[in-house]
Amino acid sequence: MNQLDALRQWTTVVADTGDFRQLAQFKPQDATTNPSLILKAVQKADYRPLLDEVVGKHKGAPVDEVIDRLLVRFGTEILSIIPGRVSTEVDARLSFDTQATIDRAERIVALYRAEGIDVSKRLLIKIASTWEGIEAARQLEQKGIHCNLTLLFSFAQAVACGAAKVQLISPFVGRIYDWHKKSQGSQWNEAANAGANDPGVKSVRQIFDYYKKNGIATEVMGASFRNVGQIAALAGCDLLTISPELLAELAASEAPLSHALDAEAAQRLEIPKVSLDQAAFRFALNEDAMATEKLAEGIRAFAADAVKLENLMEA
């Protein structure tokens, strides 16, 4: 059995890509996208016609609406290949505006519905894990619109998402790893910080154990992987979203893969439930230099790629 098939025994495998032509070979259950992945895809010759089609069909419409239509166009193509859900992201420039995030999410949902998609079963709206984004997701979930809270780097963000009863969170393993590696510089010991000791892996395990111990239904989906060792160390997580390159690496390896995260074992741990109001959330996030920096950096990067996508459309 290859590592990808072994992983499927305990974890739902999700593909992290806008390149939907790669999906069939890996047979993922779900798929995730973001503006950076869509930007990367539409610059390939295979996908440029999709961009031209959407822009041509909606000339004169506001550019933000055309962007959403492009995201939904990619999403519907992905849904024709996978059996599960696709995650489609709200513009990162709205990360600190609760009502604007809700409005944009509802427009994306309406566009999917117009394509005949059962949004309650097949769509997750991706929103940055700011306080405002989590509040938007709380309100959307109450309307039956399920959300994937992304750019999640801290336990405080996970606690707030669980309290908001969001459908799913995406803790960013690789970006946490990147920050610690850069922070330690020449003192970084790769071997000592690999596998279960990887700082990104440890962050996801803490969140997973907390949710399972306290009966929090929010799904945990590890994201942003740098190597297959990080993925193997999280086998047993609810879901893992993995790039096509790492999916191929897993499929090509028959090295042993063991069950690393265990919901039943987590329920036997002593982990108190935490409650955070807005002030406590902001202070806890502020105290976590890594999470503060990576959240801001992630929002800036996604916002910059959204602008590049708009410029490509306008051109």
Cβ burial, residue 45 (10 Å; 0-12/13-18/19+): exposed
Token pair 């949710």 is found at 211
User: Using CA atoms, how far apart are residues 281 and 275, in angstroms rounded to an integer?
Assistant: 9
pLDDT-derived band of residue 35, with 50, 70 and 90 as boundaries?
A: confident
Q: Please identify every residue annotated as catalytic.
A: 126
What's residue 313's pLDDT? 87
What's residue 98's pLDDT? 98
pLDDT digits (tens, 9 = 90+) for 113-162: 999 999 999 999 999 999 999 999 999 999 999 999 999 999 999 999 99
pLDDT digits (tens, 9 = 90+) for 232-246: 999 999 999 999 999
Output the CATH code of domain 3-314: 3.20.20.70
What's residue 242's pLDDT? 97
- Residue-wise DSSP of the chain: --HHHHHHTTSEEEEE-S-GGGSTTT--SEEE--HHHHHHHHTSTTTHHHHHHHHHHTTTS-HHHHHHHHHHHHHHHHHTT-SS-EEEEPPGGGTT-HHHHHHHHHHHHHHHHHTT--HHHHEEEEEE-SHHHHHHHHHHHHTT--EEEEEE-SHHHHHHHHHTT-SEEEEBHHHHHHHHHHHHGGG--TGGGSGGG-HHHHHHHHHHHHHHHTT---EEEEB--SSHHHHHTTTTSSEEEE-HHHHHHHHH----------HHHHTTS--------HHHHHHHHHH-HHHHHHHHHHHHHHHHHHHHHHHHHH-
User: Using CA atoms, how far apart are residues 147 and 87, in angstroms rounded to an integer?
Assistant: 8
User: Using CA atoms, how far apart are residues 102 and 202, in angstroms rounded to an integer?
Assistant: 32
What's residue 22's pLDDT? 87
pTM over 0.95: yes
What sign has the CA pseudo-torsion 120, 205, 177, 256?
Answer: negative
Average pLDDT on 183-207 reads 98
User: Using CA atoms, how far apart are residues 306 and 132, in angstroms rounded to an integer?
Assistant: 20
Give the amino acid at 209.
D
Q: Which two tokens stand for residue 311?
A: 């410029």
Question: Which range (15-29, 80-94, 266-280, 287-301) has the least confidence?
Answer: 15-29
- Residue-wise DSSP of 284-298: HHHH-HHHHHHHHHH
Average pLDDT on 191-195 reads 97
Say yes or no to pLDDT of 272 above 90: yes
Give the amino acid at 45.
A
Average pLDDT, the chain: 96
pLDDT-derived band of residue 256, with 50, 70 and 90 as boundaries?
A: very high
Say yes or no to pLDDT of 172 above 90: yes
